[in-house]
Amino acid sequence: MTDLAASAADARLFWSDSGCLFRVGPDGASQEFDPWALEWRAGAPVGADARAVTPVEALKLLTGTGRMRRVPVGIIGPKAANAAQEEVAEALGRAFAKVGLTVLTGGRKGVMEAASRGAFTAGGMTIGIIPDNEWDSANPYVTVPLATGLGPARNAIVARACEALVAVGGEYGTLSEMAFGMHFNRKVLAMLNAPTVPGTITCASVDEALAHVAARFLRLDSGPSVG
């Protein structure tokens, strides 16, 4: 872990009544989170009204203000998913939607449909990056279908468009999305025997994946994504 990552991981988070998120580092210096730019900036001292929060709580509070830019989180996996993969994908979509995140998938069946269903039924926004020429091949739980006409090449768009990706199982298509994600410096998480890609993080539960995603959006891990 780098000094930057260690410092971020050790920081304490505080939520103020004014709707602002602060962190206090080991040296006592405070910073305020800019929810539109997704970055920390030098801030005023934490007020007496502030209360300590976890990263997941902080993310939900920030999205609830309506002032946080809606960069999506991706859920990827096979079209021919098994029951266990669909169950986890749906739970992930639901969990992300409940903290206010926009869920992006490849927009088709299997893991993609299960993830979209979980987010949609929880009241969240879902985006589908469709490989076909027309949007109407999207699964019924995609609220924003984007037809690309690119076929499998759309996998690069899926990876590029997200702040983090969670792979639930998968084969070659999922492998390509994970590899693109690592190439684009996204946080890539793997569940249920997803393809092995160096640098990805294996998660045993939805809660663990959510914690990693929250850390990414709040820049509490190794830093911001780069293009």
> Of 169, 181, 177, which Cα lies nearest the Cα of 106?
177
Which residue range(s) make up the domain with 44? 3-64
Assigned token pair, 102: 């926009």
Tell me whether strands 30-34 and 39-42 are parallel, antiparallel or unpaired. Answer: antiparallel
Shared-domain flag, residues 211 and 161 = yes
Which of 12, 43, 64 is the last residue in one of the domains?
64
Q: Are residues 108 and 60 in the same domain?
A: no
Residue 222 is predicted with a pLDDT of 56
Neighbours of 161 (CB within 10 A): 17
Locate the DSSP E strands across the chain.
12-15, 21-24, 30-34, 39-42, 51-53, 73-76, 103-105, 126-130, 144-147, 164-168, 187-191, 201-202
pLDDT by 10s per residue, the chain, length 227: 333 344 445 569 999 999 999 999 888 889 999 999 999 999 778 888 899 999 999 999 999 999 999 999 999 999 999 999 999 999 999 999 999 999 999 999 999 999 999 999 999 999 999 999 999 999 999 999 999 999 999 999 999 999 999 999 999 999 999 999 999 999 999 999 999 999 999 999 999 999 999 999 999 985 444 44
Q: Decide if 205 is inside a domain.
A: yes
**Does a structural domain hold residue 54?**
yes
pLDDT at residue number 9: 53
Whether 94 and 146 map to the same domain: the answer is yes
Is 102 within a domain?
A: yes
CA atoms of 80 and 167, how far apart (whole Å): 14
Same domain assignment for residues 52 and 82? no
Indicate the residue among 29, 47, 64 that finishes a domain.
Answer: 64
53 with 87, same domain? no
Indicate whether 89 and 47 sit together in one domain. no
Instruction: Give me the pLDDT at residue 141, please.
Output: 98
Q: For position 7, what pLDDT does the model report? A: 41
The whole-angstrom distance between residue 141's C-alpha and the CA centroid of its chain comes to: 18
* Structural domains in the chain (count): 2
Question: Do both 97 and 184 map to the same domain?
Answer: yes
- Whether 81 and 59 map to the same domain: the answer is no
Last residue of a domain, one of 11, 36, 64: 64
> What does the pLDDT read at residue 4?
35
- Max CA distance (Å), the chain: 55
Residue owning tokens 């998120």: 21
Same structural domain, 134 and 187: yes
